[in-house]
Amino acid sequence: MNINATIVIQAFNFFIVYWMVRIFLFKPIIAIIEHENTEEQGLLDIINQQQKSLEIQEKERQRHWYICQEYFNTHQPYRPVDFFFTPEKIDTIAKITHELSPDDIVQITADVYKRLEETIKHVH
């Protein structure tokens, strides 16, 4: 194999061009890529922190909701069972109202209103 001077000069020129491309082209590009990667990682960290913060806030909101439910369940006003109207009671009331005069109905309504008002006064 015959090696002449042109092959050596071409190899020397190749290494000089490679060195120049590496310093002047690849180095800035690699620096830009690394900078973008660090910014992206920073944004991902911020997103993860916000997600954790939202999870904590959601758990706190659920805890407050549960506390409110428990409070209202334990502090609801007393309602006797016969306060609610059953179908039988509605039928009885319908029969009675047919037998009563309008003045009697007004008097009964006033009595019921007065009793309800007294009951509501005692509720906290």
Number of domains in the chain: 2
Q: What per-residue confidence (pLDDT) applies to 51? A: 96
Q: How far is CA 90 from CA 84, 85, 86, 93, 97, in A?
A: 10, 6, 6, 5, 10
- 124 contacts: CB under 8 Å, gap ≥ 6: 75
Backbone angles phi, psi at 47, to 5 degrees: -60, -45
Pair 19, 69 in one domain: yes
Pair 9, 58 in one domain: yes
Q: What is the pLDDT of residues 38-84, one digit of tens each?
A: 999 999 999 999 999 999 999 999 999 999 989 888 887 766 555 56
Pair 47, 106 in one domain: no
Domain extent, residue 115, equals 78-124
Q: How far apart are CA 53 and CA 30, in angstroms?
A: 34
Pair 66, 25 in one domain: yes
Q: What per-residue confidence (pLDDT) applies to 118? A: 84
* DSSP-derived 3-state class of residue 105: helix
